[in-house]
Amino acid sequence: MKYHIETMVCGGCVRSVTKIAQNLDPTAKVEADVVERTVEISSDQTDEITKALALAGFEATQIAA
């Protein structure tokens, strides 16, 4: 799933988003573009990941892949 995260503005944010996803699913694949503020997450647990991201201040809006 591909998401837009308005508050993902730097490399530290990308690391945080990646860590959150991989803490919930160690096999999750995360590809982020900080310039476009998008992240693509390949995981069976995307619902749980997006909820955890929101709790951490990274509101993820799903966009077309």
Domains in the chain, start-ordered, CATH in brackets? 2-63 (3.30.70.100)
Confidence of residue 59 (pLDDT cuts 50, 70, 90): very high
pLDDT over 90 at 64, yes or no: no
pLDDT over 90 at 65, yes or no: no
Residue 23: what pLDDT?
98
Measure the CA–CA gap between 14 and 32, rounded to whole angstroms.
Answer: 7
Measure the CA–CA gap between 47 and 38, rounded to whole angstroms.
Answer: 17
pLDDT tens, residue by residue, 7-58: 999 999 999 999 999 999 999 999 999 999 999 999 999 999 999 999 999 9
Residue given tokens 């990646």 in the structure block: 18
